């Protein structure tokens, strides 16, 4: 079973920040949080990942709560091309480090 | 960097035939590759994990004799759907990871859409 829960869908106005929450209350101490997005009929695209500290790259910022039970992906200035399904994944920390995908959040950026 | 390709991008076949899908890491060596299946409007479901030179590890409920996985080199893994039936029609996606360390993310291919008539 997936170790994350996300809202099914969200809308965001173009140019505004999109804040996508993720709950991972059963995360273990050495498990990373990864975010990917999937645009229709394509393979998932890596966005960002983190362990306990907040992270930022050219695509997004990742805010992880101090207890690590939840996180938020922030797209600072959403564009129409950011419309996609966003997956928050806690990578299994043993064996082959596989991903178990949850249902994801369908983000729609509105003009 | 970290590009993963799949071939073919789409395939249509008759029921009962076998179909092979290739997954290649183009600019890095992938010690581990993963195969997923995705039905319309659903999330990705992990089918199996393969490490170069060893047998694949299949997820519960995935028939290993139906979905044959070969990971013969550090840049190539293949998935063969044997005796395909219409219910096998799906979007098949592979991913590749450069190592077994904790920080190594997976890079995904563009997917292969299989339609079985």
**Residue labelled with tokens 């190592």:** B99
User: Rounded to whole angstroms, how far apart are CA atoms B58 and B60?
Assistant: 6
Sign of CA dihedral A57, A58, A59, A60: positive
Minimal Cβ distance to B32: which of A93, A96, A100: A96
CA distance linking residue B10 with residue B2, whole number of Å: 22
Q: Chain A contact for B93, CB < 8 A?
A: yes
* Chain A residues whose C-beta sits inside 8 Å of any chain B C-beta: 2, 30, 32, 34, 36, 38, 41-46, 49, 87, 93, 96-104
- As a whole number, the mean pLDDT across chain B is 91
Q: What is the model's pLDDT at position B27?
A: 87
Out of A34, A42, A99, the one facing B111 most closely (by C-beta) is: A42
Is A98–B46 a contact, with Cβ atoms under 8 angstroms apart? Answer: yes
Of A34, A41, A87, the CB nearest to B105: A34
Please give the share of chain A, as a percent, with pLDDT higher than 90. Answer: 74
Q: What is the pLDDT of residues A18-68, one digit of tens each?
A: 999 999 998 888 888 999 999 988 999 999 999 998 999 999 999 999 999
* pLDDT at residue B100, rounded to an integer: 53
| Residue B99: pLDDT band with limits 50, 70, 90 | low
Residue A97: predicted pLDDT? 77
For B108-113, what is the mean pLDDT?
Answer: 96
| Closest by Cα among B72, B28, B23, B67 to B45 | B67
Q: Do B4 and A43 touch (CB under 8 A)?
A: yes
Q: Give me chain A's average pLDDT, please.
A: 92
Looking at residue B102, what is its pLDDT?
47
Give the mean model confidence (pLDDT) for residues B78-89.
96
Closest Cα in chain B, distance from residue A11 (Å): 18
How buried is B72 (Cβ within 10 angstroms: 0-12 exposed, 13-18 middle, 19+ buried)?
A: exposed
């Amino acid at each position: 079973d997936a170790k994350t829960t996300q809202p099914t869908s969200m809308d965001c106005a173009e140019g505004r920040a999109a804040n996508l929450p993720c709950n991972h209350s059963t995360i273990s101490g050495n498990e990373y949080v990864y975010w990917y997005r999937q645009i229709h009929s394509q393979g998932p695209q890596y966005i960002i990942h983190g362990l306990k500290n907040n992270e930022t790259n050219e695509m997004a910022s990742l805010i992880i709560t101090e207890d690590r039970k939840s996180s938020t992906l922030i797209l600072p200035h959403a564009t129409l091309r950011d419309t996609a399904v966003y997956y928050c994944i806690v990578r299994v920390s043993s064996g082959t480090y596989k991903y178990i995908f949850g249902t994801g959040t369908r983000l729609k950026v509105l003009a | 960097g970290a590009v993963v390709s799949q071939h073919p991008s789409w395939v249509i076949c008759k029921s009962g035939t076998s179909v092979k899908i290739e997954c290649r890491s183009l600019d890095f060596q992938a010690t581990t590759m993963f195969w997923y299946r995705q039905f319309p409007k659903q999330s990705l479901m992990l089918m199996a994990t393969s490490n170069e030179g060893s047998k694949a590890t299949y997820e519960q409920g995935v028939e290993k004799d139906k979905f044959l996985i070969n990971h013969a080199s550090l840049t190539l893994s293949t998935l063969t759907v044997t005796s395909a039936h219409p219910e096998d029609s799906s979007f098949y996606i592979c991913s590749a990871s450069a190592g077994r360390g904790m920080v190594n993310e997976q890079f995904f291919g563009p997917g292969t859409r299989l339609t079985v008539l």
